[in-house]
Amino acid sequence: MLLNKMIEVISCGGRSEIVLDNISNTSIEKSNIHGLGLFAQLVIPSHTILCLLDGQVIRWADYNDYLIEFPEWNALDKQTLLVRPIRTKYSFINHSREPNCSLAYYPLRVYSMFDIHPGFELTLDYRKEPLNADYLSAFENRYL
């Protein structure tokens, strides 16, 4: 059985929060992409499964009702989200149009697409998730 531990993270704004350490051999550090990012501490070989993501399935239309309870999510399809009540290291993986990680489904997991060397930031292309039109058209998501 794989057990994860909780770690304390200090945000760029100085606020402290508890995060589930679900991706081993990584650290949360200041990112040149955005805020904080997730960085390799050791070589992560190509096609390594970094973590499995689980949670509760809800309708996307209901997400705003649960925003405080579920700060982390993945789109399963254009109407359905997989949400988690605890922030994990996964949520520190920043967006890039040239990512070194990807998501695979059933079960939902994050894997490395190439060897990732120590000190390199882990990135995902958020546009690869089945995001709905409302999310994509929101002003705060214009960077996608």
The model's pTM is 0.89
Return phi, psi of residue 132, to 5°.
-80, 165
Q: If you classify domain 5-141 with CATH, what class do you get?
A: mainly beta
- 77 to 58, 59, 67, 122, 132: CA distances (angstroms): 11, 10, 18, 24, 8
Segments making up each domain of the chain, as ranges: 5-141
Return phi, psi of residue 128, to 5°.
-80, -15
Return phi, psi of residue 34, to 5°.
-170, 120
Structure token digits, residue 117? 């060397």
> Digits of tens for pLDDT over the chain (144 positions)?
445 676 666 665 667 888 899 999 999 999 999 999 999 999 999 999 999 999 999 999 898 887 677 889 999 999 999 999 888 999 999 999 999 999 999 999 999 999 999 999 999 999 999 988 888 888 778 777
44 secondary structure, DSSP code: B
